[in-house]
Amino acid sequence: MSEYKVPERKDVPEEYKWDLTSLFKDCKEWEQTLKEFEKQKESFVSFKGTLHSGKDLYRALEAYEKILKTGERLGNYAFLMQTADLGDSESKELYSRYIISATDFETKSSFFVPEVTALDDSVVEDFYRLDKDRLYSVYVEKLLRMKPYILSEKEERIISLFSTSLQTPNNTFSVLTNVDMDFGEVKTEAGKIPLTQSSWSSFMQNPDRKIREEAYRQFYGCFEKNKNTLGELYSGSVNSDVAEAKIRGYGSSLEMALYKDKVPVEVYKNFISAVHKGFPVLHRYYEVMKKVLGVKELRHYDVYMPMVQLENSRKTSYEEAVEIIRKALSPLGQEYTDVLCKGLLNGWVDRYENKGKRSGAFSSGAYTGYPYILLNYKDDLIRDIFTLAHEGGHSMHSYYSAKNNPFMHYDYTIFEAEVASTVNEELLFRYLWENPASKTEEAWLLSTRLGDIVATLFRQTMFAEYEMLTHQILEEGTPLTLEVLRNTYMTLLRDYFGPAMEFEAESDLEGLRIPHFYRAFYVYKYATGISAALDISSSILSGDKEKLGGYFNFLKSGGSRYPLESLKLAGVDLSSSGPIENAVKVFESLLEKFEKIVLEINK
């Protein structure tokens, strides 16, 4: 058997690549459109100081929409070209030119938002009367809601000039942890293998416990050496959040982060409290893990180890994966599966790995063109079928949003984004679980789903609680010293993992290595997303036609509502504890079934 070699981009058959002609015929057309974009930018400046009537505002928004729509198309094409081959200099240049041009437009148009928010009520009411089709009204309504916290044009410009400097903690953290920190090598049966941020997870899943421990101590030993710098960087990031919240007049940095999505602070706090009520079943999960792994003490370097090893996994071609997804998602109806599967087989997806291609997977939906998906599909990994279903959920959300809304409010928020993708994952899991190739595969599916819920519902909530606490500590006047950061994180580790877990002295350093913390109050959206998705998928699988119709209303709502309102269309009220309680019940039910099947296998 010949050794597999990763192909060059030019050697990948066209039918395996995404078809970008839905955006631009070729790079030449992109170049022509960029020139038009430059002209549009220059002409937009003429609207400065002219918004005296509803008609003036309407005309300005027409021009603004045209520029944003053109910019989105230019940016999406350049971004996708670059990610398909990061080593291609022409694609790099294309994307860089777009970024420079788009940044220039941000500067040139900085007058617009302050001018709109400063308009008299009579002008705004006049505009609403003119905008009979509500092409722009939702955008203006959401903008005016931000009015109390938008500063003068001069002040906003000062803040924008500091925006690059305020990214220094994040950028320095990224360079330090991904470039400067050398984690060394770990000796394995296959020889010495470099320990990196990328290889870390595979080491934590190594069946040899000694290798896991060595990799863990070596990895965190590096963070120990840099702990003071990392502590200062995170503290600096929190300081920036707190300072901006004060400058803008918010009650707290948490309120500032939630305000745009119209999520009350109490909803965030109540969500954390509701997850806390699920601790008994979460602690039981770790007790089960301890038994299944057969260890006297469950250590921090054991928790990423799969409880079930799936050997001789079935091989599933990409085309077969699409057919499995079609069957699994059939409860969503034929229209949904027909559109999705046609797209997956005809131009939406860049399917396989090639040299220089970005790792992982993503969906890139936009108003114009296909809702594209980047994959690195491998036919021997069941996980990749889940990845395809997940990204397909994002793409179908984008498809319905763009099809049913005007450009200025078609785009949904990150809060809503993880719902559609996770519904697809849950439906696929249920289908595969009902049709397993073996008892071992059934156990693997259960253990994997349990692990996903732990990682998304419980772990992300722990992260969200840590962010809330660190920002509160600083806002109350206590400096965020390294000791404070470590003690706060260790307390949370003990609360969430429970008595089954024995921690290492360096375990609390995990709080200094999470990149998401530099984008404060973002991770809770993963936890709310899976809670909503489990609630929705349960209703769909029960045959609730009303809930199914409500789910499609949610998919079609785009950015026309605020997240909590749009999810109510799908019958999910995230301002209550109900969805979280339901998610914990689903988790508990799966855990009971897993315990039962593991006992059967081990008889």
Q: What are the residue numbers of the active site? A: 391
CA gap 250, 562 in Å, rounded: 19
Residue of 530, 330, 335, 326 whose CA lies nearest to 420: 530
Q: Which of 447, 418, 387 is nearest to 531 (CA)?
A: 418
Q: What is the CA radius of gyration of the chain?
A: 25
Q: CB 253: neighbour CB atoms within 10 A?
A: 26
**Four-residue CA torsion sign, 378, 336, 560, 40:** positive
H helix runs in 198-301, sequence order: 200-204, 209-225, 227-248, 253-259, 265-276, 279-293
Of residues 270, 304, 272, 268, the one with CA closest to residue 286: 304
| Helix (H) / strand (E) containing 27 | helix 27-44
Q: What is the spatial distance between Cα 192 and Cα 185, in angstroms, rounded to a whole number?
A: 6
DSSP 65-119: HHHHHHHHHHHHHHHHHHHH-TT-HHHHHHHHHHHHHHHHHHHHTTTHHHHHHTS
Rounded-to-integer distance, Cα 327 and Cα 44, Å: 49
Q: What is the rounded CA–CA span in Å between residue 603 and residue 265?
A: 50
Task: Give CA–CA dist 404/399, Å, rounded.
Answer: 9
Q: Which residues pair with 374 in a beta bridge?
A: 350, 362
3-class secondary structure per residue, 283-317: HHHHHHHHHHHCCCCEECCCCCCCCCCCCCCCCCC
CB atoms under 10 Å from CB of 422, counted, come to: 24
Residues 6+ apart with CB under 8 A from 277: 577, 581, 584
For the chain, report the end-to-end CA distance as a whole number of angstroms: 38
Q: What CA–CA distances, in Å, run from 263 to 129, 457, 528?
A: 29, 18, 12
What is the amino acid identity at position 267?
Answer: V
CB 234 within 8 A of CB 485: yes
What is the token pair recorded at 191?
């020889």
Bridge partners (DSSP) listed for residue 559: none
Q: Dihedrals φ, ψ of 362, to 5°?
A: -160, 160
410: tokens are 């078609």
